[in-house]
Structures are given as structure tokens and as C-alpha cells.
Structure 1
Amino acid sequence: MEQLTLIETAVLDLIPNGSDRKISIREIGKLLDLDERSIYEIINSLRRKGVPVCAKRNGQPLDRGYYIATNEAERADGIHSYKSQVNDMSNLIATIEHADLLNWHKNLKRAK
């Protein structure tokens, strides 16, 4: 059995079960007087302890936020945005790896 810290418990108590309702990191920060970086770390700690915290990261602002997945469809939806981010980062890495280190500036026309 994993032991939660007081702050992990406080954050966990704010995250709704199910994707029908979500809470933004900003809302958690306001309610607990915490900065976003700390909340990210706490949420990741909860995940490492087995809590299926998912996030919807796109769409309308009021439909974004964190939730605890309660079924496979919610888990899949939550994982989808992270897989998209991994894809984007992989493409970015490939772009940088293939950039011409010596002549990149010759291929640009600067705005005046």
C-alpha cells in the first residue's frame, strides 16, 4: 500500500473521478496556493503510485483539465494526448537532427 503525503492527498481530493468533470492545473493552484510546477510533480507522483490521473489537453478551455480515469475509454482518451505529444517531440528531434549546422542561415530570408 502506497503512503500519500498530505499535499498529494490534497491534490488527489480535488481531481474528479471520470472525464465528465475536469479540473485545471490553474484551479488546483488557486485552491491550494501552489505553483504549476509543483502540481505537475505531485500529479506525476500520484501516477507513479498507481493513480490513473489523465488529462484532456486540447479542445475548449472549459473542457480541459485533469481527471481520474474510471474506465478503459477514459484511460485511452487520456493517453492519446500524451502519445500525440511524444509524436510531436519525435518529429521535432528529427528536424533538429537534420538541420544544416553550417548553412541554415543561408536558407532564410529575414523580414524587414
Structure 2
Amino acid sequence: MKKVQLTGNERLLLSIIEHKEEPINIKELVNITRLNRRTVLGIIESLRKKGVPVVGKRNGKTGIKIATTQNEINESCMTLAQQSAKMLRTSAYLKTSDLKHWKEHIKTM
């Protein structure tokens, strides 16, 4: 596999994630790095593109970590696929919104 160059921020985040015993959540990464949330999420995506197995953990101690098993990668991929499907459904609902008459279809309590 070809070696890839990491940016300074990618090295910083990777170092933090690698040295944590437990998964670390995005809010903690934002506080530690002083980077904004979008930047942190973008760096995580970039690390994944470069082959770093950063996975999200949704049960127990939630957050992100470096995968150590194929099962962790599979579980994270399944979660991402489910989130993607939900976003596509939401997009479809939005596309069919009636800009002129939507208020007429909403019943308020």
C-alpha cells in the first residue's frame, strides 16, 4: 500500500484518537483541538479516505476509535449505511414538499 501524507490536523486528531483507551466523542475532540465541529468531522472523513480505520461506536461508551477488528469495521459500516438510507428518505420527503400549500396540510393542536 502506498504511503500517504497526513496534514498537521490529521496527525493531531489521529494521535489523540490512538492514545485514548476508550472511544472519544466529537465534542471532546473539539474541546481538545480547539477546531470547530465541522472541521473535526472533515478530518475524520479525510483520515478514513486515507485508509485509517476510524470507526464510530454507538453502544456503551460512544465516540470514535481506531478499529482493531473486522467486526468493528463491519458494525460501523452498517451504521453508516443506515444513516445514509435515512438521509435519502428525508431528501425524498423534502423533494415532494408543496411550497405553496404545505400549511394547509398541517393540523396544529
What TM-score do the two structures reach when normalised by structure 1?
0.79
Specify the alignment match of 1:107 in structure 2: 105
d(CA) in 2 for partners of 1:100, 1:5: 45
Post-superposition Cα deviations, 1:34-69, rounded to whole Å, max 9, x if no partner, equal 22121112111111111111112x446xx2111111
The gaps in structure 2 that reach 5 residues or longer are none
Specify the alignment match of 1:12 in structure 2: 14
Specify the alignment match of 1:54 in structure 2: 55
Query: Cα distance 1:73–1:107, how it changes in 2: closer, same or farther (>3 A)?
Result: same
- The amino acid across from 2:104 in the alignment is K
- The amino acid across from 1:4 in the alignment is L
Where has structure 1 moved over 4 Å in runs of 4 or more?
none
Superposed, 1:90-101 pairs within 5 Å as 90-101=88-99
Specify the alignment match of 1:88 in structure 2: 86
SS in 2 for 1:15: helix
Post-superposition Cα deviations, 1:60-81, rounded to whole Å, max 9, x if no partner, equal 6xx2111111221100111122
The number of aligned residues is 106
d(CA) in 2 for partners of 1:32, 1:93: 33
Identity %: 32
Query: Cα distance 1:77–1:103, how it changes in 2: closer, same or farther (>3 A)?
Result: same
What TM-score do the two structures reach when normalised by structure 2?
0.81
Q: Which one has more relative contact order, counting CA pairs under 8 Å at least 6 apart?
A: 1
Specify the alignment match of 2:24 in structure 1: 23
Contact kept? 1:23, 1:66, Cα under 8 Å:
yes
The gaps in structure 1 that reach 5 residues or longer are none
Specify the alignment match of 1:44 in structure 2: 45
